[in-house]
Structure 1
Amino acid sequence: MALLQIDNLTVEFETATGWFKAVDGVSLSVEKGEVLAVVGESGSGKSVAMLAVMGLLPWTAKITADRMLFEDRDIRNISPAERRKLIGKDIAMIFQEPIASLNPCFTVGFQIEEVLRIHLGLDRQARHARAIELFRQVGLPNPEERLGSFPHQMSGGQCQRVMIAMAIACNPKLLIADEPTTALDVTIQKQILDLIMSLQARNGMGLIMITHDMGVVAETADRVVVQYKGRKMEEADVLSLFESPKSNYTKALLAALPENATGDRLTTVSAFFEGTPEPASETRA
């Protein structure tokens, strides 16, 4: 039984000219303890698909799927109360803009303790002790002092560590990391990525890593789903994807990597195909 199983997910948004398909018939699954990378350019529907799973899209969005199962439980039509119990506890997400995701009006300590109060029902003393433990776990210095800080008093890398601490606070079974190293400098990116992977291995979580960085895919993933304009182009284990990509879009992504450049110029992805790229005829598990 897959931890998460999504079949034929479609997400549409109403625009001035009609309905726009941000996600078009995407299917994917992730097992307990597995790392699934969802890769593609900006606008390929990676984040939207996961926000649909989390129930965080606007009510005006039109979401359909043949199946959307978490631990064999259909989460398409669960009540708001049931979803609140599930999201943040069993399924958690690290968002790509930590400063925008944290409430500027409350200390980071209050925000992480609120998660512990709502989902685990811990008393004040237990919440405080757990928050300190989590801040230590994610490598925040002087955790007792940091609990009293507001988001604007912390760096981007520190805020991202707070977001990771909040995401793992209740030991989720599935963690979704949405471009977790965006807008961080290279050194901090490596630290954050290493932290997420060490926590995933330690806690045995299923992990969905949303990224546009093929280097991150190579370093972290067991399996890969490649998306383009809302459609799934290809799915394969990470070694097969890099050694023998089947979709012309996947080939274009790999060919456009800086290490594959010829001469002194980088080549754009679109230079490798004409028209609209088509999905591979079959996917490989």
Structure 2
Amino acid sequence: MALLEIRNLTVSFETSTGLFHAVKGIDLSVQEREVLAVVGESGSGKSVAMLASMGLLPKTAKITADVMTFNGRDLLTMPDTERRKIIGRDISMIFQEPIASLNPCFTVGYQIEEVLRSHLGLNRADCRKRAVELFGAVGIPDPEKRLDSYPHQMSGGQCQRVMIAIAIACKPKLLIADEPTTALDVTIQKQILDLLMSLQEETGMGMIMITHDMGVVAETADRVAVMYKGRKMEEADVVTLFDNPSHSYTKALLSALPELATGDRLPTVSDFVDTASLQTEGAR
């Protein structure tokens, strides 16, 4: 049984020009101890699909699916009170732009302790002790002192580590990492990726890595789902995808990587208009 299973997920938003379909009938699943990479250009629906599964989209979003289960439980029919017990504890997410995701009005210690109080019911002393352990685990120096810092007093890399600490605080079964290395310098990117993979190995949690960086995919993923304009174009194990991509969009995406490019000009990805026919082209 898959840890998370999604079948025929569609997400739409009402706009001034009509209904906009951000996600169009995608299937995704991830097993325990597996890393699934969801890749694609900005605006391809990667984050929206995962936010829909967590129930974190605004009420203006229209979400339909044939199946949406977590650990055998139906997320579609689950009451909001039950979902709130799961989200943040069993399913957790590292959001994009940690500076924007952290509340600037509260210390980072308060924000991680709030998660521990809400989901685990720990008292103040135990929350503080666990928060220090978590900050130490994600490599934040002088963790006890750092708990009293506000987000603006920390670097981008440190804020990303705070977000990871909050995400793993309750030992989730599934961690969704949404562009976890965006806007970080190369050295910090490597540290964050190594940290995430070591935590995943240590805890055995499933992980969904949302990214547009194919280098990150090559280093971290077991399987890869490629998205374009709200649709899933192709899904394969990571070795097959890089060595023998079957979908024309995936081939174009890989050929545009600077490290794989040949000649004087860097290849570009053409605009694939007929996504409906392209979706079936690379099915495995």
State TM-score, norm by structure 2.
0.97
Once residues 223 and 264 of structure 1 are traced to their aligned partners in structure 2, the CA distance between those partners, rounded to angstroms, is 32
Once residues 77 and 105 of structure 1 are traced to their aligned partners in structure 2, the CA distance between those partners, rounded to angstroms, is 35
More divergent stretch after superposition (256-265 vs 132-141): 256-265
Q: Once the two structures are superposed, what CA deviation does each residue of 1:107-146 show, in whole Å capped at 9, x if it has no partner?
A: 0000000000000001111111000000000000000000
For 1:166, the equivalent position in structure 2 comes to 166
| Amino acid paired to 1:66 | D
Matches within 5 A, 1:188-203: 188-203=188-203
Structure 1 vs Structure 2: percent identity of aligned residues?
74
For 1:143, the equivalent position in structure 2 comes to 143
For 1:12, the equivalent position in structure 2 comes to 12
Moved over 3 A (4+): 273-277, 280-284
Once residues 272 and 20 of structure 2 are traced to their aligned partners in structure 1, the CA distance between those partners, rounded to angstroms, is 23
- Pair 274,225 (structure 1): closer, same or farther in 2 beyond 3 Å: closer
Once residues 281 and 229 of structure 1 are traced to their aligned partners in structure 2, the CA distance between those partners, rounded to angstroms, is 15
| Amino acid paired to 1:241 | L
- Pair 274,221 (structure 1): closer, same or farther in 2 beyond 3 Å: closer
SS, match of residue 36 in structure 1: strand
Q: Once the two structures are superposed, what CA deviation does each residue of 1:132-190 show, in whole Å capped at 9, x if it has no partner?
A: 00000000000000000000000000000000000000000000000000111111111
2:115 paired with 1:118:
no
For 1:219, the equivalent position in structure 2 comes to 219
Give ranges in structure 2 of 5+ residues lacking alignment. Answer: none
For 1:256, the equivalent position in structure 2 comes to 256
Once residues 177 and 94 of structure 2 are traced to their aligned partners in structure 1, the CA distance between those partners, rounded to angstroms, is 5
Following superposition, the deviation at residue 281 of structure 1 comes to 3.7
SS, match of residue 115 in structure 1: helix
| Amino acid paired to 2:257 | L
2:51 paired with 1:82:
no
Q: How much is the aligned-residue C-alpha RMSD, in angstroms? A: 1.1
> Do 1:8 and 1:65's aligned partners in 2 also have CA atoms closer than 8 Å?
yes
Matches within 5 A, 1:1-285: 1-270=1-270, 275-277=273-275, 278-281=278-281, 283-284=283-284
| Amino acid paired to 1:224 | V
> Do 1:11 and 1:63's aligned partners in 2 also have CA atoms closer than 8 Å?
yes
> Do 2:233 and 2:282's aligned partners in 1 also have CA atoms closer than 8 Å?
no
Once residues 258 and 192 of structure 2 are traced to their aligned partners in structure 1, the CA distance between those partners, rounded to angstroms, is 23
Once residues 198 and 264 of structure 1 are traced to their aligned partners in structure 2, the CA distance between those partners, rounded to angstroms, is 39
Once residues 274 and 95 of structure 1 are traced to their aligned partners in structure 2, the CA distance between those partners, rounded to angstroms, is 29
Once residues 70 and 109 of structure 2 are traced to their aligned partners in structure 1, the CA distance between those partners, rounded to angstroms, is 30
SS, match of residue 25 in structure 1: strand
Count the aligned residue pairs: 282
Once residues 238 and 280 of structure 2 are traced to their aligned partners in structure 1, the CA distance between those partners, rounded to angstroms, is 15
Following superposition, the deviation at residue 79 of structure 1 comes to 1.6
- Pair 239,158 (structure 1): closer, same or farther in 2 beyond 3 Å: same
Q: Once the two structures are superposed, what CA deviation does each residue of 1:208-250 show, in whole Å capped at 9, x if it has no partner?
A: 0000011111110000000000000001011111111111000
SS, match of residue 89 in structure 1: coil
> Do 1:246 and 1:280's aligned partners in 2 also have CA atoms closer than 8 Å?
no
SS, match of residue 10 in structure 1: strand
